[in-house]
Structure 1
Amino acid sequence: MREITYRKVVAERFGGSDVLRTVQATLPVPPPGHARVRVLAAGIGFTDLMARSGDYLLQRRTPFTPGYELAGEVVDFTVDSRTPAWLRAGARVAAALTKMAAYSEFITLPLWQLVPLPEGLDPHLASAVPLDYLTAISLLDTHGRLRTGDTVLIQGASGGVGQAVGTLGRLRGLRMYGTASSSGSREALARHGVTFIDYRREDFEVVLREREPDGVQAVFDHIGGNNLSKGYRVLAPGGVLVSYAFSGRPGRMVGDTVRGAARVKFMNLQPHRRTALSMVPREIKADHAGYRTALGNLLDMAKRGAITPQIAATFPLAKAADVHAALERREITGKVVLTMS
């Protein structure tokens, strides 16, 4: 084994898309229980944009390399007692990271974090699965504990996580309502069995009180603020409000996130209903086996076409700053994947 020289994207400081730089680095020989992976594709999420601007609670230091999800090819590895039998040089893998680092041509990862790609699954498609769909699993199963026939409200149902929840919710036989702003979302959500609520023209609390007078079993919220109280009020007895993100004021996102999380925990002290916080990177770190099983199942579903992440565009690694800027200007809607040379 020898050192590998490669390129990666680095946020040198917090700020606009111009703080992203493509730099050259050296990857040393992997320590025991780790592999070096040639990254083939990395997914871009809005969490990456928040981290770059300094508004993400789990990324408080610079410099750093953005990105939580990737698909790649194993270059080499150093064995230990837990090395999986399937692992070999050249094996294609996917991974969800517990610490941002995916915008990179090569990366060193612990062996437990690698999940084999099903034969024939496009690595670009695979790189769009981990973050959104593992978040959906966290919402539906880990915290929601939902059963066939249960009714849920998905805030931001046309976003990446919202679409993942809708896709998996349909397969689980859930009854679903989803808030979105675009009239074109109605048809897209209907394909997953999600009833569209136009949040610009309708109050979801009023709509649900009329259509679901007994309440819903779960509300999945990524907004926070007054939506938390409204979502809590539409829950049925025993229902759960799960928060997986918070919208805050520019420059004050971290503080608003902390206050939102504290509010969710305080609400959980009230009787008859539950609240929960979904923080996927921490959940992955806490349950390695559960993570590998969940991501393995999702990749199998992607191979079969049971889930179909919608990739809006692909760009080379060197265009990461341009992609961030375009996403912030709303010139691109949907999942974007970075590709490596």
Structure 2
Amino acid sequence: MPGTRDLHGHAWVVETFGGPDTMRWTATVTPAPAPGHARVRVLAAGVGFTDLMARQGDYLLQRKAPFTPGYELVAEVVDYAPSAGDDPRDTAALAPGTLVAAALPKMAAYAEYLNLPAWQLVPLPEGLDPVVAAAVPLDHLTAVSLLETHARVRRGDTLLIQGASGGVGRAVARLGQLAGLRMYGTASAPGAAEQLARYGVTPVDYRTQDFEKVVSAAEPGGVQAVFDHIGGANLGKGYRLLAPGGTLVSYAFTGRPGRMMRDTAVGAARVKLMNLRPGRRTALCMVPNELKADHSWYRDALTRLLALTRDGSLRPAIAATRPLREAADVHQALERREFTGKVVLTTAGH
């Protein structure tokens, strides 16, 4: 049964859109959970560039301030309030002290305590480091959605990953390697070619090579899937690389500072219009919306990803860990490109 006392803690709140100085370390009160919810103590929260975009007011899925950033976390269950008709096994799975991971449909992870619905909470496999687990949900669920939900790739299929050295790109590359796919990936970061080769990805340096020419020369029959996070002219070039029946999936768009939301909306509309052409498909991947729409898919996918991480098949690239209280400094450092890889925020003792 849940406790009745309020839990006092802190959370980061973006009061108005702008730079890291708009974030405030704010006292919070977390009451006892409602039926079907658990009250959790956050141990670690992943930081994504979507957090920075939302803080700046440039993220289409987070349009209002004030809000608390963060889509992914690992936490310890404080208490759980069963709802009518709960299976006793489900109640036991959220016993106090249980470690759980979650991806959130709406940002809220930069907090010490939260109330979350039970369906969002996936128990951690025994022995999995909470810091490592906190780097898994968003990038890897996006990769699963790209590969399985939208492109529906099969062993032996060929695909192109735009930005293959980024968080989502690396997740796609590793999962694609495990699935027996043939892959090309655009990247330019130092050491990216060697890293991608370890995943079985043929690298294309987009600064010195035209990816369309390189891939079309190697794959004259086309590729089964293209995953794009840039938009613009890349959409047309990627679409032309598709084999008949192939799929181009956009999961982000690059926009102009201060006009990101408009450019994202324009890019999304273009992808939808391209899908009206016969012979090939296009799709938009927006994982926060997808996990809210299909709880079973979310829980099954995250359970599988955590198990792969526990056995060493997935190794999230963690650039740094920092205390949760330093989140504003982390945002500033990320804007200066001081980190390559995921930054994980931790609370006391982790």
TM-score normalised by L of structure 1: 0.99
1:82 aligns with 2:86: yes
1:12 aligns with 2:15: yes
What code does the residue aligned with 1:225 have? G
Number of aligned residue pairs: give it: 341
Return structure 1 stretches of 4+ with deviation > 2 angstroms: none
The aligned runs of 1:100-111 (5 Å cut-off) are: 100-111=107-118
Deviates more, 1:182-191 or 1:297-306: 182-191
Question: 1:158 offset after TM fit, Å?
Answer: 0.3
* 2: CA distance, partners of 1:10 / 1:172: 40
* 1: CA distance, partners of 2:285 / 2:318: 24
Any conservation in 2 of the 1:183–1:198 contact (CA below 8 Å)?
no
**1:52 paired residue among 28, 52, 55:** 55
**2:301 paired residue among 285, 294, 299:** 294
* 2: CA distance, partners of 1:184 / 1:72: 34
Stretches of structure 2 lacking an aligned partner (at least 5 in a row): none
1:186 aligns with 2:193: yes
**2:35 paired residue among 14, 32, 35:** 32
Deviates more, 1:74-83 or 1:204-213: 74-83
* 2: CA distance, partners of 1:333 / 1:86: 36
* 1: CA distance, partners of 2:173 / 2:196: 8
Question: 1:94 offset after TM fit, Å?
Answer: 0.2
Name the structure 1 match of 2:72. Answer: 69
What code does the residue aligned with 1:142 have? T
Q: 1:227 to 1:82 in 2, by over 3 A?
A: farther
Name the structure 2 match of 1:251. Answer: 258
Name the structure 1 match of 2:125. Answer: 118
CA deviations on 1:242-299 (whole Å, 9 max, x unpaired) are: 0000000000000111110000000000000000000001100011011101000100
CA deviations on 1:213-262 (whole Å, 9 max, x unpaired) are: 11100000000011000100010000000000000000000011111000
What code does the residue aligned with 1:73 have? E
Question: 1:86 offset after TM fit, Å?
Answer: 1.8
* 2: CA distance, partners of 1:188 / 1:174: 17
Name the structure 2 match of 1:242. Answer: 249
* 2: CA distance, partners of 1:93 / 1:23: 24
The aligned runs of 1:93-104 (5 Å cut-off) are: 93-104=100-111
Name the structure 2 match of 1:221. Answer: 228
What code does the residue aligned with 1:144 have? A
Stretches of structure 1 lacking an aligned partner (at least 5 in a row): none
Name the structure 2 match of 1:283. Answer: 290
* 1: CA distance, partners of 2:215 / 2:318: 32
Name the structure 2 match of 1:327. Answer: 334
* 2: CA distance, partners of 1:111 / 1:186: 41
Question: 1:183 offset after TM fit, Å?
Answer: 4.3
* 1: CA distance, partners of 2:247 / 2:99: 38
SS of 1:217's equivalent? strand
SS of 1:307's equivalent? coil
What code does the residue aligned with 2:251 have? Y
SS of 1:62's equivalent? coil
Question: 1:17 offset after TM fit, Å?
Answer: 1.1
Name the structure 2 match of 1:153. Answer: 160
Any conservation in 2 of the 1:181–1:198 contact (CA below 8 Å)?
yes
What code does the residue aligned with 2:324 have? L
Question: 1:82 offset after TM fit, Å?
Answer: 3.5
* 2: CA distance, partners of 1:42 / 1:219: 30
* 1: CA distance, partners of 2:189 / 2:31: 48
* 2: CA distance, partners of 1:232 / 1:16: 36
What code does the residue aligned with 1:242 have? V
